[in-house]
């Protein structure tokens, strides 16, 4: 069995340059397969609202639903670090965030909670980390703000917004964030942020220079209905079976062959 991955493990991986492989997980069986394939982090993402529940955004997902899926993942999880998304409007105030993150850890078995947003989240990030609840921040395309962003589109393309992203990353780290997800930002911006912060960065549509990569499990297996996001790859194509596809993904992340130029944005 693989040794349990902790925050210290991730920190060492960043320092040594070993790439971190992360995939979303929503149930017990896939969690076991992901761990057997050597995945370092399983993310119980609120993407489950779209790929499992069939909604057209992550907004309808509730705390109880996230706790249910997190507990399913926790029951079979042994080695990968478990990060769980805080759903839309579950962390709008410090007191609400403390209460809900504690439930996510106590009832769902989360080892770290993820929340979206930059400088306006600093109080929440500070309070959670001061109470021993590790935080994964999420910048760039933040799907819970899809209506404010005007759609699912690449962020940080102009100079001012790229600078704001870099500042947000620094501020979140100062406030206590331990890991940072960067979604759909130009490769050069992700590279700059990754070099500027000590916390590991995990990219999705953020180019090859992040400390690790994450994909939505169903995209990785090519079973998400509709058009495949350009930043993902169907690893089941050419693989013998699902375990082989998951191993191929981990290998491609570790050897740096994924993401390639066609999965990244300028
Ligand atoms: O919900 C999710 O799956 C995520 C990843 C896309 C990073 O937040």
> pLDDT tens for residues 134-172?
999 999 999 999 999 999 999 999 999 999 999 999 999
Catalytic one of 15, 65, 183, 240: 183
Q: Is the pLDDT of residue 78 over 80?
A: yes
Query: What spacing in Å lies between the alpha carbon of 45 and ligand 1's midpoint?
Result: 5
Q: What was the pLDDT predicted at 1? A: 66
- Cis status of the peptide bond prior to 259, with omega within 30 of 0: yes
Nearest protein CA to atom 1 of ligand 1, as residue: 45
Nearest protein CA to atom 8 of ligand 1, as residue: 45
Q: How confident is the model at residue 225 (pLDDT cuts 50, 70, 90)?
A: confident
Could you tell me which residues come within 8 angstroms of residue 163 by beta carbon, excluding any fewer than 6 positions away? none
Q: Which of 253, 242, 239, 245 is nearest to 40 (CA)?
A: 253
Prediction pTM value:
0.98
Contact 124, 100 (CB under 8 A): no
- pLDDT tens digits for range 4-50: 999 999 999 999 999 999 999 999 999 999 999 999 999 999 999 99
Is 183 one of the annotated active-site residues of the chain? yes
- pLDDT tens digits for range 43-70: 999 999 999 999 999 999 999 999 999 9
Could you tell me which residues come within 8 angstroms of residue 206 by beta carbon, excluding any fewer than 6 positions away? 140, 182, 183, 184, 185, 187, 189, 190, 264, 265
Q: Which tokens sit at 206?
A: 């953020």
Contact 99, 59 (CB under 8 A): no
Contact 100, 55 (CB under 8 A): no
Q: Across the strands, what pairs with 215?
A: 23
> What is the per-residue burial (b if ≥16 Cβ within 10 Å, else e) of 206-221?
bbbbbbbbbbbbbbbb
Helix (H) or strand (E) holding 254: helix 242-254
Q: Which atom of ligand 1 is nearest to the CA of 216?
A: 3
């Amino acid at each position: 069995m693989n040794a349990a991955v902790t925050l210290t493990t991730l920190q060492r991986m960043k320092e040594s340059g070993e790439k971190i492989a992360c995939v979303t997980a929503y149930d017990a069986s896939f969690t076991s397969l992901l761990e057997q394939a050597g995945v370092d982090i399983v993310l119980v993402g609120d993407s489950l609202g779209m790929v499992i529940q069939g909604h057209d955004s992550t907004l309808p997902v509730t705390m109880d639903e996230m706790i249910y899926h997190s507990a399913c993942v926790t029951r079979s999880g042994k080695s990968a670090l478990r990060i769980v998304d805080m759903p839309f409007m579950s962390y709008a105030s410090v007191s609400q965030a403390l209460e809900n993150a504690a439930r996510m850890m106590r009832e769902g078995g989360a080892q770290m909670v993820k929340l979206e947003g930059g400088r306006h989240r600093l109080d929440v990030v500070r309070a959670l980390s001061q109470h021993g609840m590790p935080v994964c921040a999420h910048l760039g395309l933040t799907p819970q703000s899809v209506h404010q962003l005007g759609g699912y589109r690449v962020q940080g393309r102009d100079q001012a917004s790229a600078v704001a992203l870099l500042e947000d990353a620094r501020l979140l780290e100062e406030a206590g964030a331990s890991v940072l997800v960067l979604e759909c930002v130009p490769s050069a911006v992700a590279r700059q942020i990754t070099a500027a912060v000590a916390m590991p960065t995990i990219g999705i549509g953020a180019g090859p220079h992040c400390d690790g990569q994450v994909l939505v499990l169903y995209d990785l297996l090519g079973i998400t209905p509709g058009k495949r996001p350009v930043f993902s790859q169907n690893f089941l194509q050419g693989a013998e079976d699902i375990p082989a596809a998951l191993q191929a993904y981990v290998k491609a992340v570790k050897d740096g062959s994924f993401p390639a130029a066609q999965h990244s944005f300028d």
